[in-house]
Amino acid sequence: MTVEQPRIRPEVAPDIDAIARVHDRAFGGPEEAAIVERLRAGDAWLPGLSLVAELDGRVVGHVVVSRAALVPPGGEAGREIAILALGPIGVLPEFQGRGVGTALMRAAIAAARRRSEPVVVLLGHPGFYRGLGFVRARSIGIEPQVDTWPDEAWLALDLRSPGSASPPVAGRVRYTDAFSLH
């Protein structure tokens, strides 16, 4: 059986309600859709890095990559490094398990690599992100904002080109207020 490939594209205004429905249904509650709405209204939003997956013209999945900060060890003000945070990502339950989430992730990573931030971080199910190049973030010196986030779920992907001369980045991630982690 041929499985239809989703079309991945940046969100446009008419997608907004469908995106909220994707997250409400994927996560079984309103919190992730609310995060996306707060992100969209705030400074961390990166137009073009909110991607939808369409099948037969219907939005069946969504992922967003937004700005975050890495506070270096010592934490002096003004030395923060701009990085990226990935999530939420959701796929309508009836379309899960057929590659839509992976297609969204590959497109999000490709878009993130076209920018200048050195790393993208996320908290998620390791089984889903394993094949996409993510490693345990603490293993490369990137601490989560919330100390209790488990090692196996706190993940990072180095976005710099192989052989890049830029020094490794390390520190503690600070998410935008849209995630309500404070």
Ligand X SMILES: CC(C)(COP(=O)(O)OP(=O)(O)OC[C@H]1O[C@@H](n2cnc3c(N)ncnc32)[C@H](O)[C@@H]1OP(=O)(O)O)[C@@H](O)C(=O)NCCC(=O)NCCS
Among 99, 115, 135, 140, binds ligand X (CB under 6 A): 99
Q: Is 21 in the site for ligand X (CB under 6 A)?
A: no
Q: Residue 106 CB, nearest distance to ligand X (Å)?
A: 9
Estimate the crossing angle of helix 16-27 against helix 31-40, to 10 degrees: 150
Residue with tokens 């001369």: 165
Chain centroid to CA 124: 10
Q: Is 8 in the site for ligand X (CB under 6 A)?
A: no
Q: Is 98 in the site for ligand X (CB under 6 A)?
A: yes
Residue whose Cβ sits closest to ligand X: 101
Chain centroid to CA 73: 24
Please list every residue from 50 through 89 that binds ligand X, using CB under 6 A: 89
Q: Is 167 in the site for ligand X (CB under 6 A)?
A: no
CB within 8 Å of 57: residues ≥ 6 apart: none
Q: What are the two backbone dihedrals, phi and then psi, of residue 179, each rounded to the nearest 5 degrees?
A: -85, -5
Among 44, 85, 91, 159, binds ligand X (CB under 6 A): 91
Q: How far is CA 172 from CA 41, 124, 168, in A?
A: 25, 18, 14
Q: Is 137 in the site for ligand X (CB under 6 A)?
A: no
Q: Residue 77 CB, nearest distance to ligand X (Å)?
A: 32
Angle at 163 between CA 86 and CA 79, to 5 degrees: 55
Nearest one of 13, 29, 37 to 176, comparing CA atoms: 37
Per-residue contact flags (x/-) with ligand X for residues 106 to 135, judged by CB under 6 A: ------------------xx-xx-------
Binding site for ligand X (CB under 6 A): 26-27, 89-91, 96-102, 124-125, 127-128
